[in-house]
Structure 1
Amino acid sequence: MKKSANPRILTINGGSSSIKFAQFEAGDVLDRILEGEIDRIGAPEARLRVTGLDSMDTFSQPVTAPDHTVAVGILMDWIEARGGPDGLTAVGHRVVHGGPSYWQPQRITAELLAELHRISPLDPAHLPGEILLAEAFHRRLPDLPQVACFDTAFHHDMPRVAQQLPIPRRYEAQGVRRYGFHGLSYAFLMEEMARVAGTQAAQDRVILAHLGNGASLAAVREGKSVDTSMGFTPVAGVPMSTRSGDLDPGLMAYLASSEKMNAQQFNEMVNTKSGLLGMSETSSDMRDLLERETQDVRAAEAVALFCYQIRKWIGAFAAALGGLDTLVFAGGIGENAPLVRARICAELGFLGIELDPLRNAKNAALISPDDGRVSVRVIHTDEALMIARSVAHVLNLGPHRKHQP
């Protein structure tokens, strides 16, 4: 592919079983050229899917990707086949955790990678894979600038009372506190809300519910994070696809005694074998569970617990905010599961939350009545755009403040 006259930015979002990517051209606006993913990494059904502006960049094909190392090699081969460094100006990576020292988007350096290696125990489910991706790009394209975009940035200035953990104070000096995550998504949702509902709405009391494979909520006032459900790691808060959410800390001691479970096994259980998967014993996918719930009590109970816990967090955050003006649903479940949204909101009328059934069924942008006390919205989140915008800002690549959603 011939080198573009405008800078081109590749965004990378590595998950536990997928690598999502998108490419943007930084002209007068940030234009999305293509997006895709390698999904089901580690499974026989792994595929590379790409959707682009022309037929050459739109395809789906099976790949052999037993792990992330092989998967990133497949992605790099495809990138080089499209033009390699001549087709790219920079790469931006979503990095879930930067510990206490890193939260602002910045160039990836040897020093930064060394620190990420050091703090990997903070997030063993994400950081090792994210480091692997950055190092793989550096090996293949050593002159290509890379930028780390941290998912904790949105919550960095939460009130101290929301950051602290009630454990001995000496651990705080080691960086043990509540960080919060899904920050790239939340930053986009707040900007998009200001665009569609007005600046004042974005300054009011807002609860954001990012409900996908990972799920969390954030309480926002005057555009700033007041509290969030995830804490020291992304496993905290509400139940998720395979993560447990909050648990009684005594459970670890009990399982260590009753099953001789060690810390690594416990961490694997709460990250990869719990949540919807652990409760249902069949699937981590909400779509599967909704289909099965009338025949399978385990599926029904998994869905019920998910909705119940989110409803509790909404109530708690309304208390933290002193009331509520807007509730926003986002993420794969939040944007596409009307039944889940309805069940979450069903008993929240005392907060002024009411849904319009027809709007909710259609996944409309506004799913509450026009005269509802609380506006309930569905907003499609866009972490890739936020990464691209951060890369453009850090590297000064064009008019990055403008964008097309």
Structure 2
Amino acid sequence: MPHALTLNAGSSSLKFGFFELGDLQGEPQSRILGLVERIGQGERAHIKAKGADGQVLLDQEYGRNHVPDHGTALARVVDFLREQRPDARLAAVGHRVVHGGPDYAEPTRLTPPVMDRLAQFEPLAPLHQPHNLSGARAALELFPDAIQVACFDTAFHRHHPWVNDTFAIPRKFYDQGVRRYGFHGLSYQYISETLEKTAPHLHSGRTIVAHLGNGASMCALMGGRSVASSMGFSALDGLPMGSRCGQLDPGVLLYMLMNEGMTPKEIEDVLYRQSGLLGLSGLSNDMRTLEAAGTEPAREAIDYFVFRIRRELGALAAALGGISTLVFCGGIGENSAHIREKVCEGMGWIGMELDTGRNLRGERIISTDLSRVRILVIPTNEEIVIARAARDSLAGAG
């Protein structure tokens, strides 16, 4: 029986999945799902994995700086999987690749020319693209006989209306590929497909999805299709994130260049690695750490995070002409009842009424029965989206 491995590198994490593909006609069957988190953060990295039955197969912490990069994390994952499934026939490896640029709007087989082209987009997603491609190169070397498939976070947003796809700068830049790409597309695709299967009446309406994690963004869906996203040309725009700034007046960049004498590389480091929750709190990029800290800077960082979510919520509702459903997903969105409550607080004017008890219990529906806007928590599953693409590519190759 053929198997597939999925690799999903975030800015400080590596999710992985091991799937059975059966006869390549049905749904890929998840057998192992895992996560390496706090990679390269100077904190204690943590790797955990569960089987399909929920049994914990691995739960291990490493010493500080023992998992300094995604390459090391992948090596840990491969060792673990070989120990668990030594007889597996790995036929396909599916990779999350954050930026497909203007070229790639569908899952694509990885070849040397494709890899070279994707490497050109690394400056647009420096926290992710290098790790995505590093994982792909390692997988090509480790599994030379397996089909390697790239799935792009930008693909889901490729059908934006022009006004949500462009910037008000000379058109030649748009023609060169400077446009609003949007990201977290695999997550939004999963949420859209899940709503279509489980709640088609909600899927057909006006939905805003809040993917909140170390990387955070929001997306407006009309009938399940992306029409607007908080992220733009790069993975910096929109919401503040773990260490990324989010929305920023371009004049700040000019100030850094002209008044502070900073180099482009120094500015990149500030915007991607020193800002967001980390920069505001002076403590951590991890929401769990900030919520537990209780310091004034930590509270202010959380308050700003929530403020920007609420502001973006209003903007996306305007882009949709209303809102019928709000979905929380991502590490923070799925696990922090506190953040969900603060986001929804006082939002009755838009038709949202949170049920505090349901929210604290982490139920799927956390709005009251009388709320005009249905508020949901749906754990996202980018891995199954990648596994389906790997299955389809393998079937097509046969």
The TM-score with structure 2 as length reference comes to: 0.92
Query: Structure 2 vs 1, CA of residues 335 and 46 (structure 1 numbering), >3 Å: closer, same or farther?
Result: closer
Q: Is the 8 A contact 1:26 1:397 kept in 2?
A: no
Aligned pairs (5 A) from 1:133-282? 133-197=135-199, 199-282=200-283
Q: Quote the residue 2:68 is aligned against.
A: 66
Q: Quote the residue 2:332 is aligned against.
A: 333
Give CA-to-partner distance per residue, 1:15-49, whole Å, 9 cap, x none. 23332211111234322101123333334733443
Query: Structure 2 vs 1, CA of residues 112 and 84 (structure 1 numbering), >3 Å: closer, same or farther?
Result: farther
Q: In the aligned structure 2, how far is the partner of 1:100 from the partner of 1:85?
A: 40
Letter of the structure 2 residue corresponding to residue 39 of structure 1: E
Alignment counterpart, residue 91 of structure 2, candidates 89, 93, 104: 89
SS in 1 for 2:245: coil
Task: Kindly tell me the number of residue pairs found equivalent between the two proteins.
Answer: 390
Aligned pairs (5 A) from 1:360-375? 360-375=359-374
Q: In the aligned structure 2, how far is the partner of 1:191 from the partner of 1:72?
A: 29
Q: Quote the residue 2:101 is aligned against.
A: 99
Q: Is the 8 A contact 1:215 1:239 kept in 2?
A: yes
Query: Structure 2 vs 1, CA of residues 55 and 361 (structure 1 numbering), >3 Å: closer, same or farther?
Result: closer
Letter of the structure 2 residue corresponding to residue 184 of structure 1: L
Q: Is the 8 A contact 2:48 2:58 kept in 1?
A: yes
Instruction: Give how far 1:272 is off.
Output: 1.2
SS in 1 for 2:113: helix
Structure 1 residue ranges, 4+ long, deviating more than 6 angstroms after superposition: 54-57
Q: In the aligned structure 1, how far is the partner of 2:153 from the partner of 2:112?
A: 20
Query: Structure 2 vs 1, CA of residues 48 and 303 (structure 1 numbering), >3 Å: closer, same or farther?
Result: closer
User: Which piece of structure 1 moves more, 243-252 or 21-30?
Assistant: 21-30
Instruction: Give how far 1:339 is off.
Output: 1.8
Is structure 2 residue 41 aligned with structure 1 residue 39? no
Query: Structure 2 vs 1, CA of residues 195 and 371 (structure 1 numbering), >3 Å: closer, same or farther?
Result: farther
Instruction: Give how far 1:61 is off.
Output: 3.9
Query: Structure 2 vs 1, CA of residues 155 and 331 (structure 1 numbering), >3 Å: closer, same or farther?
Result: same
Q: In the aligned structure 2, how far is the partner of 1:48 from the partner of 1:357?
A: 32
SS in 1 for 2:33: strand
Structure 2 unmatched runs, 5+: none
Instruction: Give how far 1:53 is off.
Output: 5.1
Identity among equivalent positions (%) equals 43
Q: Is the 8 A contact 2:353 2:370 kept in 1?
A: no
User: Which piece of structure 1 moves more, 282-291 or 267-276?
Assistant: 282-291
Q: In the aligned structure 2, how far is the partner of 1:125 from the partner of 1:279?
A: 19
Letter of the structure 2 residue corresponding to residue 327 of structure 1: L
Q: Is the 8 A contact 1:85 1:144 kept in 2?
A: no
The TM-score with structure 1 as length reference comes to: 0.90
User: Which piece of structure 1 moves more, 20-29 or 143-152?
Assistant: 20-29
Give CA-to-partner distance per residue, 1:124-147, whole Å, 9 cap, x none. 221111111111111222111110
Q: Quote the residue 1:49 is aligned against.
A: 48
Instruction: Give how far 1:370 is off.
Output: 1.6
Q: Quote the residue 1:401 is aligned against.
A: none
Instruction: Give how far 1:156 is off.
Output: 0.7
Query: Structure 2 vs 1, CA of residues 65 and 189 (structure 1 numbering), >3 Å: closer, same or farther?
Result: same
